[in-house]
Structure formats: structure tokens, C-alpha cells
Amino acid sequence: MDPQSLVERVQELNDVELATLLCLIAGQHCIVHTEPESLDALEQELQLVRIQSGPEGFADEDMADFSNGLLVAGKSSAEERRIRLGSEVEQYHDDRKIANIIIARDLNQADHQVQIQALENDHVFISHYHDPEDGFPNLEEGSECDFEDDVDRDNPYALRRSVGPDIANGGRDPLLGPDNIQTLTALGDAAKVTAEVKQYLQNIVTFLRLHRAVAGGITPRATRHFDLLVKYLAPLQGLEFVTPSLVALAARKIYPHRITITTPENERSMQYGSDLAAVAAMLEGLTPEQVIDEVLAAVEVPL
């Protein structure tokens, strides 16, 4: 598929699908969140993304189920080579592999060991908030197809929680497949970043690190993810280079789940005699998203 046709396909994706696609392109993890009452619908919308990447899995809450939920049927290339060579040793090995897409929810309520393994925010590539008012288009379109045995008639979103080939993509042809993902990855790797845009990115990182409300989260890993995301966003816009607007968009995806807002007692100006009540009032209700917006407004954008 030529790049222009690929961009046209990408533009047909909804916001949840775009977040999924970016993670598949980068080979990284994503947090997708919404309002509590819409979590079931969001989970099922993720099951119906129109992107074919390979097997999918569902992770449960205890450690054994969580580990098993990451694995799907299939053999690694090494095991396949042993079979071709006639080795019988392979029969004693687990023939499953890690799924390309893993949908895991309620991790804050999961077993402690699961949380230790899965909730290290700095390892999560991006975060994306889906507004329920934007709807769940794939779920709404596919709610009457292929789910007859599992649908709660009183709730059109009450589909089964497992992910399998019988419900993936709602039985529809995907908009993008593995070859398309590989092409987008290659195009992103080749995207150019000028010195001015790179400096803009670094200034955002510096301003975030020095923001008086930030206690932590501006890590070297976050910066590496920032560098990756700006490049992988470019081919989705049909561009061969990174623009300042893509850098600003990337900042809003890379840092919200990472930034920790400081407590009034630990805010930097308290070392110089600031009034605790005034600092507490300044920090009250402040969110990572607001901090990012303040920084983007303060950093000079290259022409």
C-alpha cells in the first residue's frame, strides 16, 4: 500500500484505535482511561479495534491468571525451527507466546504482585483519555453481530470479557494489518527532526522538570519515549519530518500518567519562607494536564 493510501486508512480510525496503533508501531504499552461508568464499554471497544496485529489476550487479576492471560497459542521461531529439524524436545515446552495486544483492567484492585509487575507508570509509553461523549463507534456498530450467545439483552455493551478470533474486529475486515504497521514503523524511524524542533522538545522537558508543582516523573525513559513518539506521529499525518505541533501533542500523551504533583510541604518555594496555606491553595486541584498546558504556553515555539 502506498503511503498516501495508508494515511487515508489511518484517518478513518477513531481515537482509541489511533492510541492502539501508536503503541503497535512503537512496540510499547498504553493506558487508555475513561469515566468509571464507561469502563466496560471501553474494554469492549478495544476488543473491536479495526487493526489486525496478531493474537490478543486478556489479563485477569491474580498472578497465575495474569501470566496466563499474556500468552496465546503459537510457537516461537526457535521452536518452529526445532520442529522442522525433527527435534522431539519441543513437545515438553509451552507452545504459547506473548500476545501482541493485551487488554488488562482493574489493575489497581489486582493482586499485589500483579500491580508490581504491571503498574510501573514510567514503562508505559502513552496515556489516552477517551471521552464517553465521543461514543464507542465499533461497539455500537458491532453490538448486534457475533455476540448473540453472550449479550445481556438489557445492556447492549455487555459482551463477554474474553478476546478471541470470533469477536476480534467484530468479524469485519481490518483497516490495517501487520504489514501496514511495519511500514508505519519504518516511516517513523526515518522521520527527520530538525535541530530547532529537537531543542523545542528538550526545552519542554526542562520546563516540566523545573515546574514548581512537579515532584517527579520527568525521567530519562520518559524523554526516550518522547523522542520516539514525535517521530511515529509524523507518518500518521503523511509527513516525513516532525513539526512543533506534533511535539506538543506528544507531550500531552507521554507525561500525564508520569507526572507526580508535589505536596504543599515539599513545594520548592517553602525552602525560602513561602506561606504554606498560599502554596496549598496554589496546588489545590492542579492536574498533570494543567502543568503540561502551562509549560507548552511558556516554551517558545520554533517558526
Q: pLDDT tens across 221-266, in order?
A: 999 999 999 999 999 999 999 999 999 999 999 999 999 999 999 9
Alpha helices in the chain (DSSP H): 3-10, 15-26, 39-47, 63-69, 77-84, 112-118, 137-142, 178-190, 195-210, 220-236, 244-254, 276-283, 288-298
Taking residues 6-27, report their average pLDDT. Answer: 93
Q: What tens digit of pLDDT does each residue of 134-173 get? A: 999 998 886 544 444 443 434 333 333 334 444 455 556 7
pLDDT of residue 89: 45
Confidence of residue 121 (pLDDT cuts 50, 70, 90): confident
Ranges 131-145, 153-167, 184-198, 276-290: which has the least confidence: 153-167
pLDDT of residue 29: 86
pLDDT of residue 56: 54
Average pLDDT over the chain reads 81
Nearest to 194 by CA among 241, 251, 226: 241
Instruction: Report residue 84 as a C-alpha cell.
Output: 522442522
Taking residues 192-208, report their average pLDDT. Answer: 98
8 Å CB contact between 25 and 33: no
The percentage of the chain sitting over the pLDDT mark of 70, rounded to a whole number, equals 73
Ranges 106-115, 188-197, 291-300: which has the least confidence: 106-115
pLDDT of residue 93: 52
Q: pTM for the full model?
A: 0.78
Nearest to 28 by CA among 128, 126, 130: 126
Taking residues 112-129, report their average pLDDT. Answer: 80
Q: What tens digit of pLDDT does each residue of 56-84 get? A: 555 544 555 666 666 666 654 444 544 55
**CA count, 13 A, side-chain hemisphere, 100:** 18
Q: What tens digit of pLDDT does each residue of 29-60 get? A: 888 999 999 999 999 999 889 888 765 555 54
pLDDT of residue 143: 55
Instruction: Report residue 198 as a C-alpha cell.
Output: 529537537
C-alpha–C-alpha distance, residues 238 and 201, integer Å? 21
pLDDT of residue 76: 45
Q: What tens digit of pLDDT does each residue of 79-98 get? A: 454 455 554 444 445 566 66
pLDDT of residue 68: 67
